[in-house]
């Protein structure tokens, strides 16, 4: 009788995979009194429950039984019609047609589809340093080699990007989060977007522009997307997880038609299609004009939390720790380039013991060894008083070790 040893049978790609540090950490977050500054979560108190209820009634009335039937892999036609004006908002300034939109099951699936579409083992892709760890999780199984793009306070540095592409002309794509970046909260300036568009125009390379956060702007004027500057070379990702509710699982891409067609083919193998009903809910959310007032409400909720978090870090963290000053989004990035001797996991272990969570910086780096002492701090999913408690406790721990 032969037993079965899974380890022996796993595909090679699994060797590059690990569970998300965030999800592992959040398993502890269920404890009573636990203050998680860890996830990239909206505040559930902000979910527009009354609007959702009225939309359910509307969807029931407007859509027939067939809404519960298998649907189109590309997405619901009615949603496409609502997305076109949504994309025209000044924070995106996206030009789209029904042939340049594909709906995905959350924007995480868009990342997985793009990884399947482009990456052969050993292919080069370029990412900001640090970058979104969920993107690394989507890309890793396809075994790319990462090029880390240098970033300063205004985002990636165009001249260095140009040199990088010249050095690696077969690079498959450049993955960037230009607005309120995850994890740093930084924003790529308009001037740099224009220069990067020029660089893309020069080379045979495409950029993936991930934009989950640009609706969550707390100050200053919106900046048009990179897609608006060079739509033929950009795959733009959007999601309604931060501006409606994550659970509808509605995201997608805007991209050249041949990219959308290929994405649809890949999506068929991954999950056939995304729930029509949930797409209809987003459709009617947009059609009913609910986005704008809801954004006002959550911006009023989140902006003071951001302000509070930044000021508490200034007050309670050691001087050695710097932090970013995000104009929007969900995160403040706190870091020190001089604390290599203290391992961030020591701080995390101590914090978890004191019922406070954050995400250590290293999983956000394609090459972990390049990571400074750093932590990603979320300010959207805790009350002001919890943010205050949490940052004070983290400050005490940091003072003890730094």
Least Å from the CB of residue 138 to a second copy:
5
Least Å from the CB of residue 181 to a second copy:
19
Q: Among candidates 328, 326, 324, which has minimal Cα distance to 374?
A: 324
Residue placing its CB nearer to a second copy in the complex, 77 or 153: 77
CA–CA separation, 207 and 13 (whole Å): 24
Calculate the alpha carbon distances from 389 to 35, 183, 310 in Å: 8, 22, 14
Q: Among candidates 129, 187, 29, which has minimal Cα distance to 363?
A: 129
Least Å from the CB of residue 68 to a second copy:
4
List the structure tokens of 175: 């993955």
Least Å from the CB of residue 176 to a second copy:
16
Least Å from the CB of residue 131 to a second copy:
14
**Residue recorded with tokens 């997608």:** 252
Residue placing its CB nearer to a second copy in the complex, 168 or 316: 168
Query: Using N-to-C axis directions, what is the helix angle for 158-167 and 190-202, rounded to 10°?
Result: 20
Least Å from the CB of residue 4 to a second copy:
6
Residue placing its CB nearer to a second copy in the complex, 3 or 341: 3
Sign of the alpha-carbon dihedral angle for 217, 222, 223, 228: positive
Residue placing its CB nearer to a second copy in the complex, 269 or 318: 269
Least Å from the CB of residue 266 to a second copy:
7
**Residue recorded with tokens 């400074």:** 372
List the structure tokens of 296: 């006002």
Residue placing its CB nearer to a second copy in the complex, 279 or 336: 279
Least Å from the CB of residue 355 to a second copy:
19
Least Å from the CB of residue 261 to a second copy:
9
Residue placing its CB nearer to a second copy in the complex, 64 or 369: 64
Using the CB atoms, write b or e for 189-211: b if 16+ within 10 Å: eeebbebbbebbeeeebbbbbbb
Residue placing its CB nearer to a second copy in the complex, 138 or 327: 138
CA–CA separation, 278 and 9 (whole Å): 37
Residue placing its CB nearer to a second copy in the complex, 271 or 320: 271
Residue placing its CB nearer to a second copy in the complex, 68 or 337: 68
Query: Using N-to-C axis directions, what is the helix angle for 384-401 and 344-353, rounded to 10°?
Result: 130
Residue placing its CB nearer to a second copy in the complex, 66 or 341: 66
The beta-strand segments (E) located in 150-205 are: 151-152, 155-156, 173-176
CA–CA separation, 230 and 226 (whole Å): 7
Q: Among candidates 102, 77, 60, which has minimal Cα distance to 264?
A: 102
Burial class (CB in 10 A: 0-12, 13-18, 19+), 366: buried
Residue placing its CB nearer to a second copy in the complex, 138 or 394: 138
Q: 336 by DSSP, 3-state: which?
A: strand
Least Å from the CB of residue 82 to a second copy:
19
Q: Among candidates 92, 105, 127, 73, which has minimal Cα distance to 254?
A: 92
CA–CA separation, 397 and 364 (whole Å): 22
Q: Among candidates 122, 155, 153, which has minimal Cα distance to 139?
A: 122
List the structure tokens of 34: 């636990």
Least Å from the CB of residue 267 to a second copy:
10
């Amino acid at each position: 009788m032969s037993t079965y040893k899974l380890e022996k049978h796993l595909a090679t790609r699994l060797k590059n995979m690990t569970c998300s540090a965030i999800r592992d950490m959040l398993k502890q977050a269920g404890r009573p009194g636990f203050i998680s500054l860890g996830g990239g979560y909206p505040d559930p108190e902000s979910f527009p429950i009354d609007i959702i209820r009225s939309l359910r009634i509307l969807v029931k009335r407007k859509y027939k039984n067939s809404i519960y039937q298998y649907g189109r892999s590309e997405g619901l036609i009615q949603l496409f019609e609502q997305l076109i004006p949504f994309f025209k908002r000044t924070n995106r300034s996206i030009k789209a047609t029904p042939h340049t939109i594909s709906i995905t099951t959350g924007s995480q699936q868009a990342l997985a589809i793009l990884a399947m579409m482009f990456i052969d083992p050993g292919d080069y892709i370029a990412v900001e340093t640090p970058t979104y760890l969920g993107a690394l999780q989507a890309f890793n199984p396809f075994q790319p080699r990462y090029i880390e793009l240098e970033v300063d306070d205004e985002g990636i540095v165009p001249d260095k990007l140009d040199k990088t592409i010249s050095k690696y002309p077969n690079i498959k794509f450049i993955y960037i989060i230009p607005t309120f970046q995850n994890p740093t909260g930084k924003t790529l300036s308009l001037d740099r977007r224009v220069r990067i568009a020029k660089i893309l125009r020069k080379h045979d390379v495409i950029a993936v522009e991930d934009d989950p956060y640009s609706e969550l702007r707390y100050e200053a004027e919106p900046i048009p997307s990179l897609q608006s500057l060079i739509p033929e070379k950009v795959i733009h990702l959007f999601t309604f997880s931060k501006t409606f509710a994550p659970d509808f699982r509605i995201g997608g891409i805007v991209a050249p038609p041949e990219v959308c067609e290929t994405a649809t083919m890949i999506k068929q193998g991954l999950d056939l299609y995304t729930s029509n009903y949930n797409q209809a809910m987003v459709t009617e959310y947009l059609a009913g004009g609910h986005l704008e007032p809801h954004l006002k409400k959550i911006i009023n909720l989140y902006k003071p939390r951001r302000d509070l978090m930044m000021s508490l870090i200034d007050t309670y963290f050691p001087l050695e720790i710097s932090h970013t000053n995000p104009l929007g989004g969900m995160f403040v990035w706190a870091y020190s380039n001089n604390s290599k001797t203290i391992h961030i996991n020591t701080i995390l272990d101590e914090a978890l013991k004191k019922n406070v969570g954050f995400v250590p910086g290293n999983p956000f780096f394609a090459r972990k060894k390049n990571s400074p002492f750093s932590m990603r701090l979320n300010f959207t999913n805790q009350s002001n008083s919890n943010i205050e408690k949490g940052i004070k406790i983290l400050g005490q721990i940091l003072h003890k070790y730094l």
